[in-house]
Structure 1
Amino acid sequence: MTSAPSCPSCRQPMQIHRFTSNQGEPLELDICFACQGLWFDRHENLKLSPASVVELFRVLHEHRTDQHQPLADPMACPRCNTTLAKGFDVVRSGRYMIYRCGRQHGRFSAFSSFMVEKGFVRHMTRPEIDDLAQRVGAIYCTSCGAPVDIRKDHACPYCRAAFSLIDPQAVVRAMEGYAQASTRAHAGTPSSPSVDIGDALVALERDRTRAERERHKNAFGHTASAADAGFTGDLLAAGVEMVWALIKTRSH
């Protein structure tokens, strides 16, 4: 079996997760949950089957409250140790950041960039941004990962990307597009899960606060309230939460 490569960012061993390719063959992806990134050997990002995309969502959902750290600069290829080149790719759903090995060993992608690549996002509407501005203090940019004060900025001040969100309807459309050869007999547009973006962010923060309180209950008398509007909202995790609710609904 292939040994786990070191994460290009933190240099710790990545976790190997086994999926199925769109040709029915085994496919191993290397994931670092601490850095929220995936390493793809050459062209692996194009080989995931629709069923494997659902499984990947399950894995991301399991780790939705994990603490994560900023990416290192520079990062190194886990195969040849050369510095990865940072750049942008553009698809219909937006622009996303990618880190490539100049010797073509592969590419490192943040979870959010992978979701943009696969067409699972849409730009947030003005009313959605205004609503979030009153409910959360800041959000993480889904393009570059930087924290952005959504009350002041209407686009990321670092990479200028529009705010985008993993969208259940977009995920369904993208997955059905990938699986055209094996489309199910029934058609129709599924209903969205009964949770909005703000609710998902608040629920996510509540989960994280509860986990943090458990970790520190022997050291502190109390912790900050989960209702504190100063927390940073993770649009990626909130989107995964919404999509997972939809997947569970469709599977029953």
Structure 2
Amino acid sequence: MAAAKKVKALSRADAEAIFTRFHEIEPEPKGELDYINAFTLLVAVVLSAQATDAGVNKATKRLFELAPTPAAMVALGVEGIEQQIKTIGLFRGKAKNVHALSQILIDRHGGEVPEDREALEALPGVGRKTANVVLNIWFKQPTIAVDTHLFRVGNRTGLAPGKTPLEVEKALQKQVPARFLLHAHHWLILHGRYICKARKPECWRCPISQYCRFEPKTPPPGRSAPAR
């Protein structure tokens, strides 16, 4: 994840206005990965690295029918997991990780997904971002998972400038009003995925453009940017 050009951070008042607006538009934002329990959520997030949510959902539909628990996943075996997820990038390494983490959940955690960052990050294929997603979605902890979309939005808007994902995460923890923390990373990820896109942000339909420090703003299709 390349570091973005440094911009001046927005004020706390602007940050509050941004999240108030997000809340008005979508009070209960949801992630786009499909899952049926804490275990399948964990597996889906592990598989989503360098893959689209839609691609992961297509592959895991049958996988989760066959193996909705750690025990069933271990029984399926690495090759069996590979067969179900072979349309996903890096599927061989991911299959090994999913099989290994399933065995660890059985051996160390009674077959349950732990509600603990350190324990989650000790699992194969699980880093800070994955742990944050599971802690946030399943355990309702106000964590912020910084993916490429959120990293871009945090820097581009001035909401949470940072050279690394961890810097952006820590900046957001300070900037986001407490009442909005639980949903903050979903709002920002979805905003980056569908509006504040990497190559050409759709500023003309952005609900927070008045606060954003990105310049020049992208004009509507067919209209030139104003002269500067």
Shorter-normalised TM range: under 0.3
Larger fraction in strand = 1
Q: Which has the higher contact order (CA 8 A, sep 6+)?
A: 2
Larger fraction in helix = 2
